[in-house]
Amino acid sequence: MNSDDVIRAFVAVEIGEKARDALAETVRRAGRLGGAVRWVSPEAMHITLAFLGNIFGAGVESLSSALDTAAAVAAGFTAEIRGIGFFGRPEAPRVVWAGVGRGADRLKAVQADLSSRLASMGYGPEEREWVPYLTIGRVKSARGFGDTAAFLRAGGDRVFGEFPVDRLVLMKSELRPEGPVYSRMHDSPLGAAAMR
């Protein structure tokens, strides 16, 4: 990577295999109900802590250092994927999401500290309060979404599994016609890597 390369980047927490597999099964079932939804592939599922937008390759080192510092002061913990739904009205849905139950408060604390550190580097804070969730689908059209909406409401408080929050990951996003492709640029293990 050259220092003048422009990279679309974000900071994420990855979810574990058990939760990913349960979500993947839900996505398969929802996908059979119709509706114009671009479902996220299981390997791309993550929780975005901070979207950085376009950065230069030269900034990756300082961002990695900021992630290392933020991660060093946070202990590892376990969280759960809980709940499923969509943003927007049923007649105008935009995003299908899965939420975070247990561990959400600790995840918010990690995100708030990270956001503060990134703001000091010129990456503006979120305009709205940050809520932990992961995108599992993007709705392209509301036509035919009714059955999918009913399916999502029925599983509204389902627990999909636990996952370890043990590292922050600086990710690169490449936008392609078939959907975004993510690759890891830097991992920052949380300070006390033992689960609590």
pLDDT tens for 109-149 read: 999 999 999 999 998 777 788 999 999 999 998 888 888 88
CA dihedral 104, 109, 110, 115 (to 10 degrees): 120
Assign 3 a pLDDT band (cuts: 50, 70, 90): low
Q: Note the pTM of the prediction, 2 decimals.
A: 0.90
Assign 2 a pLDDT band (cuts: 50, 70, 90): low
Measured in whole angstroms, how far is the alpha carbon of residue 85 from the centre of its chain? 15
Instruction: Return d(Cα 54, Cα 9) in angstroms, integer.
Output: 6
Task: Supply the pLDDT for residue 193.
Answer: 46
Instruction: Return d(Cα 90, Cα 96) in angstroms, integer.
Output: 11
Domains annotated on the chain, with CATH: 6-189 (3.90.1140.10)
- Residue 33, by phi and psi: left (phi above 0), alpha (psi -120 to 50) or beta? alpha
Residues of the chain above pLDDT 90, percent: 67
Instruction: Return d(Cα 193, Cα 187) in angstroms, integer.
Output: 13
